[in-house]
């Protein structure tokens, strides 16, 4: 039964749910003969621009919490999202694999569970649009080695019950299933799909960013005596453009969903940073901060309210501004403090890094596409030489890219119109100088790499 609650009642009910989720002893952990496992807090912003964090040069946004993580850990300057939209990046984040291997998740799932390109439409019609439970989720891997697991925030990997967080190894989950949810009324513009707790619909009062923070803090306080994995995918600063200090009279509609100002965006990012500060404070007060790996990144670049500088492009494009994202990692005693690195990484690398840190193993026959980028940085090793690939589909558009070394090839196709580009990011990070005709051999080599990759990641659903 759904019922409205105050913030105090919400915290009490959340604590009760968490107590049930974390009560059972961990036989796997008790039996393990390995060094103590770190707690893991993985924080994901939604549509946050590369230049919208203080330590990445934001001139008008104050983010002292994320900045403190950078001062105490490592700040990446060449970190990429797996896609220029949320659903595909989240797929890669939790599986450690290219999202193309799953099928139907190369574009954000639309409002009210809508597929937005042919493959996604086909799966939606079969009630198969989402992340299947048989995919190896990082929460399952950590749960198998004794971790208590929780998700507090945005899911966006399927609306059907069979795709929800409890099916993917999360002992506790609270938040929203899709995108574009109203921050105050907690419904999508179509009037459907609100908040969920442990896979069941619930109603809560309050600003959504704060509710996500409260649930995350409550989990930390409840789970402090066991190794835990806490995934906090905020939906801020994604539209609708709503701030914590102005409660609207009615829910957002599709007509005004994408309206908003830079000033509102700034407030939304700063409120999220205040929430991150509360999470870091909870780690300190429970005495687990020194054995907790904290990761902060974004699922893609910003839209028009955000700032992707110094790069060109934005969300839904494969220019650097659409896929180059902030990434800050603090891991006391393992990663150096105050380090800035140009080590190239991508979202799916985080799953590999977290699994290794926790001592988790993939099932037989399963492989990751990501690499353990944190181990490379911790040991001051050169990055693994590898090309990185992107493919994003929406409607009739298919955007592809490959980066190898400093060279990046982009192909944008919309029906019968194709545009191609080659950029050297070492000398042209803003992607202004198209080298397509000047370096034909490099173009052909990168096109072959892209074609081979597309064949290799072909899904079977």
Q: Which residues are catalytic?
A: 86, 156
CA atoms within 13 A on the CB side of 353: 27
Residues 6+ apart with CB under 8 A from 396: 414, 415
Of 249, 323, 245, 313, which Cα lies nearest the Cα of 83? 323
Asked if the bond preceding 237 is cis, omega within 30° of 0, the reply is yes
Rounded CA gap, 98 and 108, in Å? 15
CA–CA separation, 347 vs 229, rounded Å? 17
Strand partners, 293: 40
Contact by Cβ (8 Å): 211, 185: no
Is residue 185 classed exposed, middle or buried when 0-12, 13-18 and 19+ CB atoms within 10 A define those classes? Answer: middle
Label the pairing between strands 172-176 and 148-154: parallel
The burial class, CB within 10 Å (0-12 / 13-18 / 19+), for 24 is exposed
Cα–Cα nearest to 419, from 396, 399, 442, 392: 399
Paired strand residues for 44: 233, 297
Beta-carbon count within 10 A of 54 CB? 18
Contacts of 104 by beta carbon, 8 Å cutoff, 6+ apart? 115, 119, 120, 122, 123, 124, 128, 129, 459, 461
Q: Tell me the backbone φ, ψ of residue 142, rounded to 5 degrees.
A: -75, -35
Separation between Cα atoms, residue 393 and residue 377, nearest integer Å:
33
Q: Is the peptide bond before 122 cis (omega within 30 degrees of 0)?
A: no
Supply the angle between the helices 86-95 and 349-358 in degrees, to the nearest 10: 30
Is 418 within 8 Å of 399 (Cβ atoms)?
no
Neighbour tally for 247: CB within 10 Å: 12
Q: What is the Cα–Cα distance from 244 to 55, expressed in whole angstroms?
A: 24
């Amino acid at each position: 039964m759904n019922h409205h609650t105050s913030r105090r009642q919400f915290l009490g009910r959340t604590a009760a749910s968490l107590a049930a989720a974390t009560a059972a002893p961990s036989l796997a952990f008790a039996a393990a003969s390995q060094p103590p496992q770190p707690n893991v807090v993985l924080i994901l912003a939604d549509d946050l621009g590369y230049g919208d964090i203080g330590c990445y040069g934001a001139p008008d946004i104050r983010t002292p919490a994320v900045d403190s993580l950078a001062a105490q850990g490592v700040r990446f300057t060449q970190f990429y999202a797996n896609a220029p939209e949320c659903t595909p990046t989240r797929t890669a984040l939790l599986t450690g694999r290219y999202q193309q291997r799953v099928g139907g998740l190369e574009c954000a799932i639309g409002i009210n569970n809508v597929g937005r390109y042919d493959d996604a439409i086909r799966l939606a019609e079969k009630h198969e649009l989402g992340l299947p439970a048989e995919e190896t989720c990082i929460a399952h891997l950590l749960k198998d080695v004794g971790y208590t697991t929780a998700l507090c925030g945005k899911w966006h990997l399927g609306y059907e019950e069979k795709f929800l967080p409890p099916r993917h190894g999360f002992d506790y989950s609270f938040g929203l299933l899709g995108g574009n949810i109203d921050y105050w009324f907690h419904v999508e513009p179509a009037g459907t799909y609100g908040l969920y707790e442990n896979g069941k619909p619930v109603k809560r009062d309050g600003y959504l960013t704060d509710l996500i923070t409260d649930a995350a803090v409550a989990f930390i306080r409840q789970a402090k005596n066991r190794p835990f994995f806490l995934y906090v995918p905020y939906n801020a600063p994604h539209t609708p453009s709503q701030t914590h200090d102005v409660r609207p009279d009615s829910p957002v509609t599709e007509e005004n969903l994408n309206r908003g100002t830079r000033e509102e965006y700034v407030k939304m990012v700063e409120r999220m940073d205040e929430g991150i500060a509360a999470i870091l404070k909870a780690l300190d007060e429970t005495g687990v901060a020194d054995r907790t790996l904290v990761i902060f990144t974004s699922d893609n670049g910003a839209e028009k309210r955000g700032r992707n500088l110094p790069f060109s492009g934005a969300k839904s494009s494969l220019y650097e501004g659409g896929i180059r994202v902030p990434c800050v990692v603090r891991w006391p005693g393992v990663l150096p403090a105050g380090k800035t690195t140009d080590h190239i990484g991508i979202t799916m690398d985080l799953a590999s890094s977290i699994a290794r840190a926790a001592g988790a193993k993939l099932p037989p026959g399963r492989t990751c596409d990501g690499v353990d980028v944190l181990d490379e940085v911790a040991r001051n090793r050169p990055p693994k030489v590898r090309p990185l690939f992107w493919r994003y589909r929406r409607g009739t558009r298919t955007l592809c890219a490959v980066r190898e070394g400093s060279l990046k090839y982009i192909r944008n196709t919309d029906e019968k119109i194709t545009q191609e580009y080659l950029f050297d990011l070492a000398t042209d990070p803003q992607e202004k100088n198209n080298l397509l005709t000047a370096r034909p051999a490099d173009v052909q080599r990168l096109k072959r790499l892209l074609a081979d990759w597309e064949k290799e990641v072909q899904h079977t659903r």
